Chain A
Amino acid sequence: MVNLTIDHQAVCVPEGTTVIEAAKQAGIPIPRLCYLKGINEIGACRVCVVEVEGKDKLIISCNNKVEEGMVIYTNSRKVRMNRKNTIELILSQHDCHCATCVRSGNCALQEIANDLNILEIPYKMEIEKLPWNKEFPLIRNAAKCIKCMRCIQICDKVQGLHVWDLTGTGSRTTVNVSLNRKIEEADCSLCGQCITHCPTGALRVRDDTEKAWNAIEDKNKITVVQIAPAVRTAWGEVLGMKREHATVGKMVDALKRMGFDYVFDSVFSADLTIMEEGAEFVERFRKGETRNHPMFTSCCPGWIRFIKSQYPHLVPYLSTAKSPQQMFGAVMKSYFAEKIGVKPENIVTVSVMPCVAKKGESKMELYFEEYGGHDVDLVLTTRELDRMIRSAHIKVDTLVEKECDQIMHDGTGAGVIFGTTGGVMEAALRSAHYLITGKNPDPDAFEQVRGMEAGKQGWIEAVVPIADAQVKVAVVSGLGNTRQLLEALEAGKVHYDFVEVMACPGGCVGGGGQPIHNEENLTNERRENLYFLDRNYAIRFSHENPDVLRLYSDYMERPNSHKAHLLLHTDHKAWEMPRAPKNR
């Protein structure tokens, strides 16, 4: 243990603790901007400076470690003046039009500038301008970038894709897509982790809310919304709602009040996905096809972009099932359109997703009978939903529980856990067990595939006995971990029958479209929420979802039928993804 004094307070912390963490333990939050514990401890912003007694030069607290007997001042005049000066310098290169910034009120720079009472910038403003394709789901505004390097580090260290890098040198050094590529030419998975870790509004998702309002206004269009499982765990966070109050029912109410015609819960299509993907897995497993290569899940579009760019030769081992979002869109424009007697071209399908990659995925084409278009027309992130609620000036305490609309109303506990890492696997195993043995297992029988504690290996593995078969499964989230898993598979070090992959760490609850809390990570709380909901569902098996069963009996016949293949499955090779650069 190391003893030191911080702001006249005696502190005792383990050796190797950084000054910033030692101060935190003493209840002193040292102001910082670029710091991201364990990921970005590079002292780029110089905001976390502190004064060490006996030393002339200030030191930064985020990557320097405590020493015995140190006397530290985090708020001396010297520190305060220096910190303020640094912020003024950062502001001189930052587009400070906060009123029109998507991160206003949730911006680390804005907060610190306010905290330090900076009312004027004494320097000449020098705003960087770099062109960007505003049609792309991921948008970078150089004018707001403070070069904290978090995006580079997240993409390098957590997602292992190296999409971002510093370019140029000297005063013109800036962050841009690596290897002199344009973003649309890069092998970006669109996981959006760079966005949720950006302290300012420099990185954001393309805003499609105006398109949603226009669709609502269009008298010739019927708007049909679906809400992804993970959205319910997070949408209330920035609206001042407690997690237990921010229910999916209140979201339905909000969406209806905004004027959407029909609102559904993607838990329904998650169950539908299990029917298709589960049946597909059981078939592949029984045929022995998984003896050499596992079947990979296909519900995460970030993962699909990853495998197509990094391991294109493994694409044939993906399940052909569409993601729940796309399945629901297809069902809305076929089965549902028929039921309500509206032509599919007059339906606008909208989905609310915790995800950035879904915006890319929705470009996937749907051709069915005379219809040619998209499964899903418009994807809104959780953050965009929140902004629509605010711009519709809906007071959240007036929201009431509303049911989803009928014929695709029902959901199960198995479908709701799709929003977390391990959830798709667990839901699939519950139904696979039934498909193979004809009997339901205990719904909590597969708890071993839950949990974030992936350990050193970076993923969870389990051998699941079903009847007389041993099914070897693996669950992984985060693309850096995913690469490790695939490398181990490729090297023959491990073998699995079924592998679930989610691009974002922790799965969709930690998705790139979820509310942003600067340094705070709420993934675990959101996951707990989903497991709570699972336990409280009346039905916990996808194959028992009454509305799903009716969809089959009325329309799709059976899982993996010809019609199901036309509507619910996809050809992963139908579109091109930029390949990973060589010799990375």
Chain B
Amino acid sequence: MSRLEISTPNKAQVVVEGLYKDLERRIEASPPGLCPVDMSRAFLVLCHAQTCGKCVPCRVGLGQLNNMLTDVLDGNATMDTIELIEETAFAIMHSADCAIGYEAASMVYKGVIGFREDYEVHIREGRCTCTYNQPVPCTSLCPAEVDIPGYIALVREGRYQDAIRLIRKDNPFPTTCGFICEHPCEARCRRNMVDDSINIRGLKRLAADLAGKVPPPPCAPSTGKRVAVVGGGPCGLSAAYYMQLMGHQVTVFEMLPQLGGMLRYGIPNYRLPKDRLEEDIEAILETGVEVKYGLRIGSDITIQRLREEYDAVLIAIGASTDKKLGIPNDDAEGIISAVHFLRTIGMGETVDLTGQETIIIGGGNVSMDAARTAIRMGAKKVSIVYRRRIVDMTALPSEIEGAIAEGVEVQVLKAPMRIEVDETGHVSGLWVQPQMVSTIRDGRASIKPTKEKDILIPCNSIIVAIGQDIEYHHFEEAGVSVARGRIHAENYGGFDNIPGVFAGGDCATGPATVIMAISQAKVVAANIDEYLGFHHEISCDVVIPKASLADRTPCGRVNMTEREACERVKDFEGCEYGMSEQEGKQEASRCLRCDHFGYGVFKGGRETIW
């Protein structure tokens, strides 16, 4: 007789485990705009199936909640039903024995409080106010609404030039975005329901890699209108591009020696090689954009002057001033801002860190860029110091991984308290207070001091990457609305009190992504066109290949590879290898073509003109 037995999962369990994974991916791809009451009910049914059956609140109560939610949805409920749902959920939250019960009830409770109005509309009017309004997930989630299924289909056919043309209809930075877009489009890719999201950014990069030089489309006949754009970053240049295509003459005022803004002076070359950035800028300039370099708004030129000399003015100066740490000795020798540090390198100069121990403060993408650049500048040891945990960092996981691979130390749960200086006033270390993770607040884990003693981390230099601000004093003086350190434009990009002046990009949103800046450029370009009395349309005549009827056999996602870390830290050359043509074709053929299959073929699948 054996006393113990090795347990093996039975076949049903194995299959169910697989189904859990399927469900996880499906939830990830869940489209926005679904009826919240119906979703609550659906989640509740799953929760109820998880009950062990021991306790009354969970076994019976969740079922009764389901009945009541169904009544609401079927039009069989009254306002009293909502009260009873709330009371029942509240009771289960406080009486269920384990999380299966109380967390299930809590989900219902959050809903009945959080979208009570929707419950009431169901009861009052017998219908839901929600409609399915984002038929093609990737395009809906791209701030610039790029026709993603369209260019993926073109890549699949090897029509790389056409892919670039189609992308440029909504985004004049195809190459740049192929390298560094944060790809919100991939977040709810429906392919997740099959296996994994499409590598959309990778396919865009492949198109840019293989297209060669693609000239921009011809400009509309000249309107004789002149537009001044202050700032030659992604927003300013994108708006300039579209306004040139519309027939207006644009002049870009750039304070630095070259165009690109943060793309050139913020993002290191190893992430976005500058010769590749030039491809986008060249095409933009080819439309006839004029550029005046070395002029700083406020000192060299004023809004007032530009308003007099031009028919419209766009402010797109970005957010390029640093935030101060606000701790003792934060102005000591050896402390610089990440923006300044990266800009210096971007201008082709060096900041020699040979043999130094460098600390980077902050957990965002800029912090990773600064850390990896510091490594390349010869620092002996680079440490990122962050108050919270790695999972709480705002940087993309791939950027954090890249930094760690290149030898960056990540010191988490350490809050900077004060800076230690040597007798010459130069930084010699950073005092940090040890933290521990604590309760969840507003969906994010908070931290609290452990009450251990502060620790001194010795260093020779500190790079501060805790966010950027804008220089707004000149604008404030010129009457441009400024709120919370940002230029506060109306949702059409302009200002009610100063007609003809518009703003977009980081200076209006606070530091954000390239694709956000481009999406704003579209808005302001269209609205400046209207303001000038025109209704030009931007379109693209590329014919999109019809959707393939092939079966959708599950297939892994092609991920990009990188140069060996020990090699790439030696230079500023690009880190990432693009997809091969063969990989690109396979990846493109994974696209489910939501523009053709599903709701996209019915409504809102493709906007060909804006």
Interface residues of A (CB under 8 A from B): 41-44, 52, 55-57, 59, 63-65, 67, 129-131, 149, 165-174, 176, 180
Contact = CB atoms under 8 A, between A and B. Distances in A.
B602 A149 contact: yes
B551 A57 contact: yes
Contact of A169 (B35, B551, B552): B35
Contacts of B6: none
Given A52-B549, A67-B549, A168 B601 contact: no
Given A55-B551, A173-B132, A43 B601 contact: yes
A63 B601 contact: yes
B132 A44 contact: no
B35 A170 contact: yes
16 contacts: A42-B602, A55-B549, A55-B550, A57-B552, A64-B549, A67-B549, A149-B602, A168-B127, A172-B35, A172-B38, A172-B73, A172-B128, A174-B127, A180-B125, A180-B127, A180-B129
A169 B132 contact: yes
A247 B201 CA distance: 68
Nearest to A170: B38
A10 to B, nearest CB: 20
B551 A168 contact: no
Interface string B482-502: 000000000000000000000
Contacts of A44: 602
Contacts of A43: 601
A65 B131 contact: no
Given A57-B552, A149-B602, A172-B128, 16 more contacts: A42-B602, A43-B601, A56-B551, A57-B551, A64-B547, A65-B546, A130-B126, A165-B131, A166-B131, A168-B130, A168-B131, A170-B39, A170-B42, A172-B35, A172-B38, A180-B129
B596 to A, nearest CB: 8
Taking residues whose C-beta sits less than 8 angstroms from the other chain, chain B's interface range is 20 to 34
Nearest to B36: A169
A169 B34 contact: yes
Contacts of B294: none
Given A42-B602, A44-B602, A64-B549, A169 B126 contact: no
A181 B75 CA distance: 17
Kindly list the 4 A-B residue pairs having the minimum CB-CB distance in the complex, ordered from nearest. A168-B128, A42-B602, A169-B35, A169-B34
Contacts of B602: 42, 44, 149
A166 B38 contact: no
Contacts of A129: 75
A172 to B, nearest CB: 6
B114 interface: no
B33 interface: yes
Given A52-B549, A130-B126, A170 B131 contact: no
Given A42-B601, A42-B602, A169 B549 contact: no
Contacts of B42: 170
B598 to A, nearest CB: 9
A56 B554 CA distance: 13
A59 B593 CA distance: 14
A57 B547 CA distance: 14
A57 B73 CA distance: 34
> Of residues A65, A131, A180, which shows the largest number of chain B Cβ atoms within 10 Å of its Cβ?
A180
Contact of B127 (A41, A57, A167, A171): A167
A169 B38 contact: yes
Contacts of B546: 64-65
A170 B549 contact: no
Interface string B113-131: 0000000000001111111
Contacts of A167: 127-128, 131
Contacts, number: 59
Nearest to A16: B546
Contacts of B33: 169
Interface string B83-125: 0000000000000000000000000000000000000000001
Nearest to A176: B127
A194 to B, nearest CB: 16
A52 B550 CA distance: 10
Nearest to B127: A167
A59 B596 CA distance: 12
A581 B132 CA distance: 20
Interface string B586-610: 0000000000100001100000000
A225 B42 CA distance: 57
A169 B33 CA distance: 8
Nearest to B548: A67
Nearest to B125: A180
Contacts of B132: 166, 169, 173
Interface in B125-146: 125-132
B550 A168 contact: no
B526 to A, nearest CB: 16
> Of residues B129, B131, B132, B547, which shows the largest number of chain A Cβ atoms within 10 Å of its Cβ?
B131
A64 B548 CA distance: 9
A157 to B, nearest CB: 11
B567 to A, nearest CB: 45
A214 to B, nearest CB: 33
Contacts of A41: 601
A172 B35 CA distance: 9
Contacts of A42: 601-602
Contacts of A130: 126
Interface in B535-555: 546-547, 549-552
Contacts of B130: 168-169
A131 B125 CA distance: 10
Contacts of A180: 125, 127, 129
B126 to A, nearest CB: 7
Interface string B7-44: 00000000000000000000000000111001100100
A56 B42 CA distance: 31
A167 B552 CA distance: 30
B4 to A, nearest CB: 46
A512 B112 CA distance: 44
A174 B130 CA distance: 12
> Of residues A41, A57, A149, A167, which shows the largest number of chain B Cβ atoms within 10 Å of its Cβ?
A167
Nearest to B33: A169
A180 B549 CA distance: 37
Contacts of A172: 35, 38, 73, 128
A55 B550 CA distance: 7
A318 to B, nearest CB: 28
B549 A168 contact: no
Contacts of B127: 167-168, 174, 176, 180
B309 to A, nearest CB: 31
A147 B266 CA distance: 52
A176 B128 CA distance: 11
Contacts of A57: 551-552
Contacts of B38: 169-172
Nearest to A149: B602
A43 B547 CA distance: 14
Contacts of B547: 64
A170 B601 contact: no
A176 B550 CA distance: 35
Contacts of A171: 38
A180 to B, nearest CB: 6
Nearest to A131: B126
Nearest to B551: A56
A167 B42 CA distance: 19
A55 B549 CA distance: 8
Contacts of B35: 168-170, 172
A41 B596 CA distance: 11
Contacts of B129: 180
B291 to A, nearest CB: 36
A178 to B, nearest CB: 9
Contacts of A174: 127
Given A42-B601, A180-B125, A169 B131 contact: yes
A56 B549 CA distance: 10
Nearest to A156: B603
Nearest to B34: A169
A43 B598 CA distance: 9
